[in-house]
Amino acid sequence: MSSRLSTPSDYAQLLDKYDTWMFDCDGVLWQGDKLIDGAVEVLQLLRERNKKILFVTNNATKSRKSYKTKFDHLGVEAHVDEIFGSAYATAVYISSVLKLPKEKKVYVIGMAGLEEELSDEGIAYVGGTDPIDKTLEPFSLENFELDTNVVAVVCGLDTTINYTKLSKAFQYLTRNPGCQFIVTNEDSTYPSAHGLLPGAGAISAPLRYALGKDPVSIGKPAKTMLDCIQAKAHYDPSRTIMVGDRLNTDILFGQAGGISTLLVLTGITSEEDITGPNASAIVPDFVISSIGDFRSTEK
């Protein structure tokens, strides 16, 4: 059973209990480029109380550096080493777990942020934002030259997805022996400022269906993401809380990592999802309407 936070003393108790606060971004701090009311003040309140703040996002469209630009643009204090995106975690996974030989490459379905993180980890790639893949011309195998050095396909949220990208990824995954299928995350939807859009999971779904196999997924709720954070941020799980809006990523992620979980209702999950007749079996430790509610914390 979750504890519903609703009074200034509830908020004060939580602030006292946890030293490290991991924040999901989309649906918790903002919706698209629209800040959640009170988010800036509450983050400031946590910093004034010397809390460690980490931003943990499955959104692979931006690198850590480009997320820092977004934080700056929105007037939210954030430092690059506090930001952990699934693009970064995927690049670290490929460089430190797969350990690709220098001449090997990955084929990317994704955007500039994912390319930037791969480059920063020294990983060669083809595809991604390359204009040649952005064509709306029908894909033809007879004109396609397979790059035999491609040993993995990486798929993240790509708002310019098309049949050519899916077809090239499918060729690599079916014709290059041992080619790895990796997705940055599997979120079904993306909570934009004006409503839900298909998420990264919906971008890789056609490949899963065509291949008849599941990829390795790096982002929340996978432990890969948490291992990446622990290696850099060294937090104490017993005094850490994950604040998220999505039960099957953020809350499961916290539970898998042995950290406490706080669900907010400003993103994907609604009141109905946690109290209705078909309430989810995923039960967060705490629930609050919005992160902004912490503004009224008892002094």
Q: Which residues bind ligand DEZ (CB under 6 A)?
A: 24-27, 57-59, 157, 185, 187, 190, 199-200
> Least separation, in Å, of the C-beta of 22 and ligand DEZ?
11
Among residues 10, 24, 285, 293, which one is catalytic?
24
Minimum CB distance to ligand DEZ smaller for 100 or for 200: 200
Residue 263, Cβ density class (10 Å: 0-12 exposed, 13-18 middle, ≥19 buried): buried
293 is in an annotated binding site: no
**Cα–Cα distance, 242 to 231 (Å, whole number):** 17
Q: Minimal distance in Å, beta carbon 186 to ligand DEZ?
A: 8
* Residues 59 and 28: beta-carbon distance below 8 Å: no
Taking CB positions, which residue lies at the least distance from ligand DEZ? 199
User: Does the annotation mark 236 as catalytic?
Assistant: no
Smaller CB separation from ligand DEZ, 60 or 151:
60
| 299 marked as binding residue | no
Q: Which two tokens mark 52?
A: 């460690």
Q: How far is the CB of 26 from ligand DEZ (least distance, A)?
A: 3
Distance, in Å, from the CA atom of 137 to the CA atom of 155, rounded to the nearest integer, reads 21
Nearer to ligand DEZ, 25 or 108 (CB): 25
Q: Is 37 annotated as a binding residue?
A: no
DSSP assignments along 130-192, one per residue: -GGGG--SPP-GGG----TTEEEEEE---TT--HHHHHHHHHHHHHSTT-EEEES---SEEEE
Least distance from C-beta 185 to ligand DEZ, angstroms? Answer: 5
Distance CA 184, CA 276 (A): 31
Token readout for 38 is 């009170």
CA distances in angstroms from 139 to 104, 144, 171, listed in the order given: 25, 8, 12
Residues 6+ apart with CB under 8 A from 215: 155, 181, 182, 183, 204, 207, 208
- Provide the minimum distance between the beta carbon of 199 and ligand DEZ in the complex, in angstroms, as a whole number: 3
Concerning whether 24 is annotated as a catalytic residue, the answer is yes
Residues 6+ apart with CB under 8 A from 209: none
CA atoms within 13 Å, Cβ hemisphere of 170: 19
Nearer to ligand DEZ (CB atom), residue 58 or residue 176 = 58
Which CB sits closer to ligand DEZ, 25 or 218?
Answer: 25
Q: Which is nearer to ligand DEZ, 21 or 190 (CB)?
A: 190
Residue with tokens 């499961």, as numbered in its chain: 252
Beta carbons of 12 and 294 less than 8 angstroms apart: no
We find the least distance from the C-beta atom of residue 79 to ligand DEZ, in angstroms, to be 17
Selecting among 10, 16, 19, 26, the annotated active-site residue is 26
DSSP summary character for residue 250: I
245 is in an annotated binding site: yes
Which residues make up each annotated binding site for substrate? 220
Which residues make up each annotated binding site? 24, 26, 220, 245
Which residues make up each annotated binding site for Mg(2+)? 24, 26, 245
Instruction: Just list the catalytic residues.
Output: 24, 26
